[in-house]
């Protein structure tokens, strides 16, 4: 295991889609390589920050137009 192989397996490692042997090999490398630990930590953090981010409120005029369009369609459904 070297740093390049670790990066190529990073996506499977973060998503826990590796068999136990390869995972153990990666973790052995991580225990010795600070740079790879930082790559794993900061990539994981990148995903978490996006995953946790709250969407901004809808702009008022955008929301108004959406609900007008829906109201028009739903009125037809009610009729």
Residues of this chain that interact with another protein (CB under 8 A) are 3-4, 7-8, 10-16, 27-28, 30-32, 35, 37-58, 62-63, 65-67, 69-70, 73-74, 77-78
**Nearer of residues 22 and 39 to another protein, judged by Cβ:** 39
User: What's 19's DSSP letter?
Assistant: -
Q: How far is the CA of 41 from the CAs of 10, 14, 38, 64, 68, in angstroms? A: 11, 10, 5, 42, 45
What gap in Å lies between CA 26 and CA 5, rounded to an integer?
Answer: 9
| Nearest Cα to Cα of residue 25 among 6, 8, 4 | 6
**Nearer of residues 7 and 22 to another protein, judged by Cβ:** 7
Q: Supply the minimum distance, in Å, between the C-beta of residue 22 and another protein.
A: 13
Q: Supply the minimum distance, in Å, between the C-beta of residue 10 and another protein.
A: 6
């Amino acid at each position: 295991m070297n740093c390049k192989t670790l990066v190529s397996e990073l996506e499977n490692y973060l998503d826990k889609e590796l068999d136990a042997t390869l995972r153990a090999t990666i973790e052995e490398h991580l225990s010795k390589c600070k740079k790879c630990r930082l790559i794993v930590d900061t990539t994981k953090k990148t995903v978490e920050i996006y995953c946790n981010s709250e969407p901004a409120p809808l702009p008022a005029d955008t929301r108004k137009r959406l609900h007008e369009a829906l109201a028009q369609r739903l009125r037809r459904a009610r009729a």
